[in-house]
């Protein structure tokens, strides 16, 4: 995990024992059609798909950022 002193952080992630670290920068995609399109583009650019309960998670090839979504609870 990266230490970020930004006072406007909305999500403070936690990691389970067997989970790999995520990059410190991520984008939560709420809209299912946008999420699908963005994940596909990132995966076509050698992004890595990872497990995310009830959603998708893709980490960029250079591991600088990740995409998650569609948001949990959003219709698919």
Residue 12 lies in a domain: no
Instruction: Give the mean pLDDT of the chain.
Output: 84
- Helix, strand, or coil (residue 44): helix
Residue 46 lies in a domain: yes
Residue 39 lies in a domain: yes
What residues make up the domain containing 46? 26-60
Residue 1 confidence class, pLDDT cut points 50, 70, 90? very low
Residue 68 lies in a domain: no
Residue 34 lies in a domain: yes
Residue 41 lies in a domain: yes
Residue 33 lies in a domain: yes
Q: Are 29 and 41 in contact (CB under 8 A)?
A: no
pLDDT of amino acid 52? 84
Q: The whole model's pTM is what?
A: 0.73
Residue that has been written with the tokens 């999420």 in this structure? 35
Residue 17 lies in a domain: no
Compute the distance between CA of residue 6 and CA of residue 30 in angstroms, rounded to an integer.
Answer: 23
pLDDT digits (tens, 9 = 90+) for 40-63: 999 999 999 998 888 899 999 999
């Amino acid at each position: 995990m990266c230490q970020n002193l930004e006072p406007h952080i909305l999500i403070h992630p936690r990691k389970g024992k067997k989970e790999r670290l995520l990059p410190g920068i991520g984008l939560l995609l709420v809209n299912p059609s946008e999420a699908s399109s963005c994940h596909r583009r990132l995966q076509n650019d050698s992004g890595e798909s990872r497990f995310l309960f009830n959603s998708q998670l893709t980490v960029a090839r250079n591991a600088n950022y990740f995409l998650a979504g569609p948001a949990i609870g959003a219709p698919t």
